[in-house]
Structure 1
Amino acid sequence: MDQTQKRILGQPLPIPTTQPKKKRTSMVSFFSKISWTVSLQKQEPPKNVFFILAERAQDPNAKKRHMAMRGLGAMASETPDKVKKYKKIVLDLLVHGLYDPVSADVIHESMKTLTILLGKIQGKSLGSFFIDITLQARTLLDDENDNLRYSAFVLFGQLADFVGRKWKKFFTSQVKQTQDSLLTHLQDRNPQVATACKTTFRACSPYLKERKEYSFQSEADQRNPKLCRQLSHYHPELLQFLYANRIL
């Protein structure tokens, strides 16, 4: 294991806080270029670029963390094979980014990058990261920030498509606890969020289906009155979809 890898897997090296202003500005510009074009790969091996970004993802400076997350997203999109090789490290960095204590931009960029990465790996081998991602995405569905809500709905809906047998029971419980948020944001003040919510509602609808052991109940008893009432008023096409798939 080389020195750079040891630094990533261990504690991040301290970054001087008294860097000259010009140097700090140039570093932000440097990572901005990575995030949009991954142009450094022409000068540096992808492995080196990845570990530079991984180190900056743990930087005390929120702007550098933000740009690092964006850079990882660009790499996941343009060179997915390189990112897959270090999937566990990337997932660990992105999950930490989801819980960033000070920067909504870092959280937002982490969700966007996770959406790209999950699409590339088809949700495989997430392990316990699935729980962390699901819990935080669900929390952010009701955030005041429109961008966070939008990305959270996209990510939550994507998780619904990649639920394995191991996490099915857990995800079903999360969807049922999220039902009120799904209904509320069908009428979100932001049209893009409302559209994302509608798509996610469809993806999550199978997890709202009653279990077989309750099949002895009458059809009327199985239906959720609040859900049916709201959907029939605002989104009759969704209600029809749920009936057609025997979810209600």
Structure 2
Amino acid sequence: MDQTERRILGQPLPVPTTQPKKRRTSMMSFFSKVSWTLRFQKQESLKNVFSILAERAQDPSAKKRHMVMRGLGTMACETPDKVIKYKKIILDLLVHGLYDPVSAEVIHESVKTLTIILGKIQGKSLGSFFVDITLQTRTLLDDENDNLRYSAFILFGQLAAFAGRKWKTFFTSQVKQTQDSLLIHLQDRNPQVAKACKTTFRSCSPYLRERKENSFQTEEDQRNPKLCRQLSHYHPELLQFFYANKIL
């Protein structure tokens, strides 16, 4: 292991804006081959491509792991039909990247690519991946990195649309646990994050509805005082939306 690899393993490193010509050529060459294979080669060759990606997703180099996650996003954009066919393999790689123990860049790239992938497959047949993605995404909503926080809110809002009947109870519990983060980041220091949080809050609003067994309570009793106070002060339009839809 050379000194560069040791340094990468020791701490998260940002993706450099400029890279040595040789390395840039190597990266471009690799993904050109992947793209070409996806478009023209036989299915046996495509499986080999995923085998290579799976191997590189485990590489000690954070840069190589980051490259894999970005490459999966490129595949999703260029060949969505392949994403649908090989979604289990792809989701497994992305969830692995989502839980990367070293690199925030790998995690961020995984979040962005998952947003693309889930959009392509419309959240269908996610299975247990839904749980893994939701649990980790929820922890990223309070991340110090603005860009990662923004992407996490986008993904969490997307998950709200794909919970369905199977994961409704689970996702409801996650939204309830995330309620404080949603309130806090409505006033996020980054305007784009605050905007994404507001959109996600709306998407998650159905999961904040009171259950039927509480129907004997008065309307005032059903309302969450803390939530109402904060929304009334900072976002009265959201509070009005919740009242109109009988969420609060």
TM-score range, shorter chain: 0.7 to 0.9
Aligned to 1:145: 145
Q: How far apart, CA to CA, are the structure 1 residues paired with 2:113 and 2:245?
A: 32
Aligned to 1:111: 111
Letter aligned with residue 89 of structure 1: I
Letter aligned with residue 242 of structure 1: F
Aligned to 1:5: none
Aligned to 1:84: 84
- Residue 113 of structure 1 and its aligned partner are, at CA, apart by 0.7
- Residue 78 of structure 1 and its aligned partner are, at CA, apart by 1.7
- Residue 68 of structure 1 and its aligned partner are, at CA, apart by 1.1
The answer to whether the 8 A contact 2:38-2:79 is kept is: no
Identity %, equivalent residues:
78
Q: How far apart, CA to CA, are the structure 1 residues paired with 2:29 and 2:189?
A: 37
RMSD: 2.5
1:99 paired with 2:99, answer yes
Give the 3 Å change call, closer, same or farther, for CA 133–42 of structure 1 in structure 2: closer
- Residue 145 of structure 1 and its aligned partner are, at CA, apart by 0.7
- Residue 56 of structure 1 and its aligned partner are, at CA, apart by 2.2
Q: How far apart, CA to CA, are the structure 1 residues paired with 2:163 and 2:63?
A: 33
Number of aligned positions between the proteins? 230
Aligned to 2:202: 202
1:231 paired with 2:247, answer no
Mean CA deviation greater in 49-58 or 70-79: 49-58
Alignment of 1:34-53 (within 5 A): 38=35, 47=46, 49-53=49-53
Q: What SS does structure 2 have at the residue aligned with 1:165?
A: coil
Letter aligned with residue 30 of structure 1: S
Aligned to 1:27: 26
Q: Which digits, 9 at most, give the CA deviation of each residue in 1:185-243, with x for residues without a partner?
A: 00000111101000000000010000000000011110011111111111111111101
Letter aligned with residue 164 of structure 1: G
Letter aligned with residue 56 of structure 2: R
Aligned to 2:15: none
Letter aligned with residue 140 of structure 1: L
1:163 paired with 2:163, answer yes
Q: How far apart, CA to CA, are the structure 1 residues paired with 2:81 and 2:3?
A: 37
Aligned to 2:183: 183
Letter aligned with residue 64 of structure 2: K
- Residue 57 of structure 1 and its aligned partner are, at CA, apart by 2.2
TM-score by length of 1: 0.85
Structure 2 unpaired stretches of 5+ = 5-19
Aligned to 2:13: none
Q: How far apart, CA to CA, are the structure 2 residues paired with 1:187 and 1:228?
A: 15
Q: How far apart, CA to CA, are the structure 2 residues paired with 1:178 and 1:18?
A: 41
Q: What SS does structure 1 have at the residue aligned with 2:124?
A: coil
Aligned to 1:212: 212
TM-score by length of 2: 0.85
- Residue 67 of structure 1 and its aligned partner are, at CA, apart by 1.1
